[in-house]
């Protein structure tokens, strides 16, 4: 038995990793390696005060930061068929679902809610990476469709905070089928003339990036977020070349035009509020244009007739008449 096992539990709890749902007093920053007092990290909304590294944030805190006064109402999401393939690897898929539901308090990786952002009605969705890596399964597809329907019903913009490792292998081809389903959900919102905004967080990869995460009217990214289809390690092993510094990170993709802006977490609500107001105004003005064209016709305006241009013969006629005199 290791001597570490004799350390009192109270001391162990101080340095427990944040991901284990413990009440640890310190958290090690993945960016700079500095130990951060948990109370200071919470006050900074999980952003390292030393290197500005944006740590993961839960759906409840994310929604509270977005909506006015931290108040919002959850949208009831339909429950999909559980374990349609009767999948089993090291443990049964149903057991994995039970474990993640207990750990996160959610039925699946996506949470949806509606509320107001600076007085404007908004529907928002947040992917929880702690729920099986935010993987895209049938539950996520159902959640996207339900949120899109709610946005259309309430005439509200739809905002999605994406964070995912890709498709959920335990659901096989049914997971991949959620890519077109989520795309249809996005199309419903756009056809209704409503803004669709995506906030890409760390990480956003796989089939999520290949579907609804890149279809926003505006694509925003948090600083340093990994955004890709296949990760850098896989690409390096495939092409056997060293990739550029910061490859597939937010700032690199902003430079290449794949995302529209990189926004810090502290400035996210202000930025989203401005975008929503601009996009809603533009959509309303665009919708009003046909109405003006189809209004009752006014009296036809009189059009002045321009004189026909004279031919060369007509121009020479007066000279000839004068010469004849």
Q: How confident is the model at residue 146 (pLDDT cuts 50, 70, 90)?
A: very high
Q: Note the pLDDT tens digit of each residue in 248-267.
A: 999 999 999 999 999 999 99
Tokens of 58: 């839960």
Which of 197-211, 287-301, 304-318 has the highest average model confidence (pLDDT)?
A: 197-211
Tokens of 210: 């290949």
- Helix 178-191 to helix 138-154 angle (10° resolution) is 10
Radius of gyration of the chain (CA): 29
Q: How confident is the model at residue 281 (pLDDT cuts 50, 70, 90)?
A: confident
Tokens of 94: 């149903």
Which class in CATH covers the domain with range 57-286? alpha beta
Tokens of 53: 């590294």
> Could you tell me the pTM of the whole model?
0.80
Q: Is 232 exposed, middle or buried (0-12, 13-18, 19+ CB in 10 A)?
A: middle
Q: For the chain, where do the domains classified as CATH 3.90.226.10 start and end?
A: 57-286
Name the least confident of 60-64, 195-199, 211-215, 285-289. 285-289
Select from 206, 241, 243, 242 the least CA-distant residue to 227. Answer: 206
* Confidence check: pLDDT of 243 > 50: yes
* Confidence check: pLDDT of 82 > 70: yes
How much of the chain exceeds pLDDT 90, in percent?
74
* Confidence check: pLDDT of 60 > 90: yes
Q: How confident is the model at residue 319 (pLDDT cuts 50, 70, 90)?
A: low
Higher pLDDT, 149 or 315: 149
Tokens of 126: 């947040």
pLDDT at position 201 is 97
pLDDT at position 65 is 97
Strand order of the sheet with strand 218-221? 73-74, 110-117, 120-127, 158-164, 196-204, 218-221, 261-262
Q: Which residues pair with 54 in a beta bridge?
A: 47
Distance of CA 252 to the CA centre of its chain: 18
Q: How confident is the model at residue 245 (pLDDT cuts 50, 70, 90)?
A: confident
* Confidence check: pLDDT of 68 > 60: yes
pLDDT at position 80 is 85
Q: How confident is the model at residue 315 (pLDDT cuts 50, 70, 90)?
A: low
Cα–Cα distances in angstroms (integers) from residue 196 to residues 69, 136, 151, 183, 215, in the given order: 23, 19, 10, 12, 8
Name the least confident of 1-10, 75-84, 213-222. 1-10
* Confidence check: pLDDT of 271 > 70: yes
DSSP structure string for 129-167: TTTGGG-B-HHHHHHHHHHHHHHHHHT--EEEEEEE-SB
Give the mean model confidence (pLDDT) for residues 291-318. 47
The DSSP call for residue 100 is H
Higher pLDDT, 18 or 114: 114
Q: How many residues does the chain have?
A: 325
* Confidence check: pLDDT of 126 > 50: yes
Give the mean model confidence (pLDDT) for residues 260-283. 93
Distance separating alpha carbons of residues 31 and 197, to the nearest angstrom? 27
Higher pLDDT, 93 or 285: 93
Average pLDDT, the chain: 86
């Amino acid at each position: 038995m290791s001597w570490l096992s004799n350390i009192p539990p109270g001391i162990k709890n101080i340095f427990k990793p944040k991901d284990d749902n413990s009440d640890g007093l310190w958290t090690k920053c993945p960016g700079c390696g500095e130990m951060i007092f948990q109370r200071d990290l919470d006050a900074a909304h999980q952003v390292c005060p030393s290197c500005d590294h944006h740590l993961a944030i839960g759906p409840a805190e994310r929604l509270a930061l977005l909506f006015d006064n931290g108040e919002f109402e959850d949208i009831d999401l339909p429950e999909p068929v559980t374990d349609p393939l009767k999948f089993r690897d090291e443990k049964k898929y149903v057991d994995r679902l039970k474990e993640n539901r207990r750990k996160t308090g959610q039925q699946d990786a996506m949470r949806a809610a509606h509320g107001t952002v600076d007085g404007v009605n908004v529907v928002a969705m947040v992917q929880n990476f702690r729920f099986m890596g935010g993987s895209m399964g049938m539950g996520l597809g159902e959640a996207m469709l339900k949120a899109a329907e709610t946005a259309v019903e309430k005439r509200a913009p739809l905002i999605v905070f994406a964070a995912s490792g890709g498709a959920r292998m335990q659901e096989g081809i049914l997971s991949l089928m959620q890519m077109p389903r989520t795309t249809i959900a996005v199309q419903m919102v756009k056809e209704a003339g409503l803004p669709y905004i995506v906030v890409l967080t760390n990480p956003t990869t796989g089939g999520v990036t290949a579907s609804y995460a890149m279809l926003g009217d505006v694509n925003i990214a948090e600083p340093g977020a990994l955004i890709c289809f296949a990760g850098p390690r896989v690409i390096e092993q495939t092409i056997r070349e060293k990739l550029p510094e910061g490859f597939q990170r937010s700032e690199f993709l902003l430079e290449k035009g794949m995302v529209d802006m990189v926004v810090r977490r502290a400035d996210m609500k202000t930025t989203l509020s401005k975008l929503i107001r601009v996009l809603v105004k533009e959509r309303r003005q665009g919708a009003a244009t046909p109405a003006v064209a189809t209004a009752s016709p006014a009296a036809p305006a009189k059009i002045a007739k321009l004189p026909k241009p004279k031919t060369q013969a007509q121009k020479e006629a007066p000279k000839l008449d004068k010469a004849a005199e």
